[in-house]
Structure 1
Amino acid sequence: MYRFAESTADAGGTMGQTAARPLRADAERSVRMILEAAERLLSKDPGASMEQIAAEAGVSRATIHRRFAHRGALTDALALSAARRLAQAVDDGRPATAPPLVALHRITANVLEVKGAWTFALSLPAAPGSEAAALHETMAQSCVAVLERARAEGLVDASADLDWLQRVYYALLGETLHGDPDDAGTDPDALAARVVDTFLHGAGPRA
């Protein structure tokens, strides 16, 4: 879905070499720590240096430069890792097999959880032709497929413009992430219920 992410070793793009199993596990762990630290730090300070990210991750400068040759490689890996997480969140909602209303709620809750945790990474543009771009396109197709099934079951009007509905749904997701963090109803399931209810019924009075 909307810029709807885990093989962190692959996300690093620098770990294709054959290695003994314990070393690979250690390498995967360091990549994961670096990506998580990059998300935390860059969401607060987009200009943070590689050295600052290494310190946040608790690894040496040599380690971060061994895993990522330059800053662009790190942000590319960050965007891809987040896209994979998001794609998994969508898949876990069973867009093609769960009842449309169930799928819509599950996907919404899952996506809100991932997007809330990876705000910076998911704001990064996916390079045309990249795996991240392909994942986002697949997620967009899943969104339309769920909406088509919802329309077929009468959850939305038969004449509804699905492209427009998709944009409205994305907008609701985006605005939901800008909510009040002190709101008691900010757990993903509660927020998903709000989003789906507003999406399907608008602000009009309930029968």
Structure 2
Amino acid sequence: MNAAAGAKRMRADAERSTVRILEAAEEVLAVDANATLERIADAAGLARATVHRRFASRQALLTALTDRLNERYLQAIEQARVATAPPVVALHRLTELLFELKIGNRAMMEFTADPKTGITPLSEPVLAGLGLLFTRLHEAGEITATDPEWCRQVYVAIVCVADLLPSESPALAAGEPGARADLTFRTVLAALGSNRPQ
């Protein structure tokens, strides 16, 4: 095996190890937020030295988990077609996808959340995707608010508040599937100056 092929194989092995570590971290930290890197290594079936080589500290692991969540947010933005779908359709679809993400990744979202805001820090590509969506909503006359950053902050805050509503809340229309997304969608449009009937 030549040196280039050996290096490529080592990179592929390292990537597989990193994925195993992150998957194990998601499972272990969902049960015990104070779990050590050693416990995560055991759950991943890897040597502790391997985990420490990939993640020098607990903070480095948290940063990687936050990046992983942001990749999922970015996939939701792409799946909602915020750049090409009618913007109001993209907003509704994105909101549905975000609540699906929250259900499937609740522990990681809580674990990686900023202690001051309770929100997982969003990457620049995610912020740009949301900004594009709200710019398009304004250009289409769906909202009167003009500042995409403000719109983004309102949207994220309303998603978080809707997520915290108890399932028996009258605002959730008897807990119908998609009720949180529908409530968020209507509230965000109203808050940002929509003329649509509520």
TM-score, structure 2 length as denominator? 0.69
Aligned with 2:67 (options 80, 98, 108): 80
Q: CA deviation at 1:115?
A: 4.0
Tell me the secondary structure at the aligned position of residue 48 of structure 1.
Answer: coil
Tell me the secondary structure at the aligned position of residue 46 of structure 1.
Answer: coil
Listed one character per residue, the Cα deviations across residues 4-50 of structure 1 (whole Å, up to 9, x for unaligned) are xxxxxxxxxxxxx82439x83x6544422321232333345433211
CA RMSD of aligned residues (A): 3.5
Query: Which residue number corresponds to residue 164 of structure 2?
Result: 178
Percent identity reads 37
- RCO higher in structure (CA 8 A, sep ≥6): 1
Higher helix share: 2
Aligned with 1:35 (options 14, 22, 29): 22
Distance 1:200 1:106 in 2: 14
Q: Which protein has the larger Cα radius of gyration, Structure 1 or Structure 2?
A: 2
Worse-superposed segment, 81-90 or 60-69: 60-69
Listed one character per residue, the Cα deviations across residues 135-179 of structure 1 (whole Å, up to 9, x for unaligned) are 72232232222122212222223x655443322211111123324
1:201 aligns with 2:190: yes
Aligned partners of 2:21 and 2:40 also within 8 Å: yes
Q: CA deviation at 1:119?
A: 0.6
Query: Which residue number corresponds to residue 89 of structure 2?
Result: 102
TM-score, structure 1 length as denominator? 0.66
1:86 to 1:121, Cα distance in 2 relative to 1, 3 A: farther
Aligned partners of 1:79 and 1:121 also within 8 Å: no
Aligned with 1:153 (options 121, 124, 140): 140
Q: Which runs of 5+ in 1 are unaligned?
A: 1-16, 126-132
Tell me the secondary structure at the aligned position of residue 123 of structure 2.
Answer: helix
Q: CA deviation at 1:124?
A: 5.6
1:136 aligns with 2:123: yes
1:92 aligns with 2:82: no
Distance 1:36 1:95 in 2: 29
Q: Which runs of 5+ in 2 are unaligned?
A: 1-5, 116-120, 192-196
Aligned partners of 1:95 and 1:146 also within 8 Å: yes
Distance 1:180 1:201 in 2: 22
1:167 aligns with 2:167: no
